[in-house]
């Protein structure tokens, strides 16, 4: 039986744990307890610990196993002044993790990077070999971690890996009250008749990938690819305004939106090419934004009954 250790039990880590488990893998998850741990399959072993504490984590890193890094860190709104804390809290523990994984001769290291930030503003659909141009310290962190993986493997020849640049997954089990992900928050506000404060540019473009497509793409890329960087994205883009229109249409109501000007540097155009994903895995994301939003609306309405 194939085995995988997933670091982090947030939105993506928990969904991936259940998906790998459904495919017949032995799955262990390390992380802090949250709403997502309650939805893990009973056959998944969950251990509550600080994934940045390598002394605790290293006992669970087994030679030959896959290790998937889905840990949380700073977010795209953190300012430059947070970088010192970021280096202490995340950079140094990450270096320790890579060293430990390489020394244990793991089967493969899978890193979830961010297609939404490492490319910066893209006038064309960004491909994996395009120049990286992160605009915030979150994107800088992801790009730097990617390079650390590649350098460690080049030096040691003992860190086979896949770097997955993920766009913007949505759907599945999300908490709309935490303001993580514009789509579930918008839908929740619309269903409850609440105002929605939007900080940013309504004309900004984003690539949104439904959780089911993300899970299958990540699973196949993790299995099929070796020492590759792959965009995991829908390959389509929508403006924030278009997302709002779709939500309003599916909920059948007008959302009261209060527009705010953000002081943070944000990516305006985020276009992601997914042709390499299709070439390596044979998989092409198929759930449209309209259908994905409809599924979320249906689930939220059912939960309210």
pLDDT of 85:
85
pLDDT of 267:
82
pLDDT in tens, 198-219: 888 889 999 999 999 999 999 9
pLDDT in tens, 128-142: 999 999 998 899 999
Residue 43: both structure tokens together:
């056959």
Q: 160, 157, 117, 159: which is closest to 140 by C-alpha?
A: 117
Per-residue pLDDT averaged across 271-286, rounded? 96
> In angstroms, how far is the first alpha carbon of the chain from the final one?
41
What is the domain partition of the chain in residue ranges?
Answer: 3-168+208-232, 173-207+237-304
Residue 180: both structure tokens together:
């993580």
pLDDT in tens, 45-83: 999 999 999 999 999 999 999 999 999 777 767 778 888
Average pLDDT, the chain: 93
Which of 137-141, 173-177, 255-259 ranks highest by mean pLDDT?
A: 137-141
pLDDT of 179:
66
**What CATH class is the domain 3-168+208-232?**
alpha beta
pLDDT of 76:
66
pLDDT of 197:
87
Q: Report DSSP letters for the chain, one per residue.
A: --EEEEE--SHHHHHHHHHHHHTT-EEEEEE---GGGGGS-TTSEEEES-TT-HHHHGGG--TT-EEEE------TT--GGGHHHHIIIIIHHHHHHHHHHHHTT-SEEEEEEETTTTT-S-SS-B-TTSPP---SHHHHHHHHHHHHHHHHHHHHS---EEEEEE-EEE-SS--GGGT-SHHHHHHHHHHHT--EEEES-TT-EE-EEEHHHHHHHHHHHHHH-SSEEEEES-S--EEHHHHHHHHHHHHTS---EEEE---S---SB--B--HHHHHHH-------HHHHHHHHHHHHHHHH-
CATH fold, domain 173-207+237-304, is UDP-galactose 4-epimerase; domain 1 (3.90.25)
Q: Is the pLDDT of residue 1 over 80?
A: yes
d(CA 120, CA 118) in angstroms, rounded, equals: 6
pLDDT of 48:
97
252 phi/psi in degrees, rounded to 5: 65, 50
Q: Is the pLDDT of residue 264 over 80?
A: no
For residues 138-167, b (16+ Cβ closer than 10 Å) or e, as one string? bbbbbbbbbebbeebbeeeeebbbbbbbbb
pLDDT in tens, 87-110: 899 999 999 999 999 999 999 999
């Amino acid at each position: 039986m194939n085995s995988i250790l997933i670091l982090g039990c947030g939105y993506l880590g928990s969904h991936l744990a259940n998906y790998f488990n459904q495919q017949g893998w032995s799955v262990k998850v390390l992380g802090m307890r949250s709403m997502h741990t309650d939805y893990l399959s009973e056959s998944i072993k969950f251990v509550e610990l600080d994934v940045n504490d390598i002394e605790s984590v290293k006992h669970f890193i087994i030679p030959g196993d896959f290790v998937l890094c889905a840990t949380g860190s700073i977010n795209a709104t953190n300012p430059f002044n947070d970088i010192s804390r970021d280096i202490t809290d995340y950079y140094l523990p990450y270096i320790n993790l890579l060293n430990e994984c390489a020394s244990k001769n793991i089967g493969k290291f899978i890193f979830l990077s961010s297609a939404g930030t490492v490319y910066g503003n893209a006038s064309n659909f960004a491909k994996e070999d395009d120049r990286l141009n992160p605009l915030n310290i979150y994107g800088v962190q992801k790009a730097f971690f990617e390079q650390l993986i590649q350098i460690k493997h080049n030096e040691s020849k003992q860190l086979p890996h896949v770097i997955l640049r993920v766009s913007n997954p949505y759907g599945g089990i999300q908490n709309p009250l935490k303001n993580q992900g514009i789509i579930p928050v918008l839908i929740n506000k619309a269903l409850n008749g609440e105002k929605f404060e939007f900080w940013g540019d309504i004309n900004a473009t984003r690539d949104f990938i439904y959780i089911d497509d993300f899970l299958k793409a990540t699973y196949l890329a993790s299995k099929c690819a070796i020492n590759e960087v792959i965009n995991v994205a829908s390959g389509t883009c929508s403006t924030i305004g278009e997302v709002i229109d779709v939500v309003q249409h599916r909920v059948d109501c007008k959302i009261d939106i209060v527009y705010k000007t953000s002081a943070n540097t944000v990516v305006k155009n985020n276009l992601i090419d997914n042709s390499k994903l299709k070439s390596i895995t044979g998989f092409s994301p198929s759930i449209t934004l309209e259908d994905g939003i409809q599924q979320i609306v249906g689930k939220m309405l059912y939960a309210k009954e």
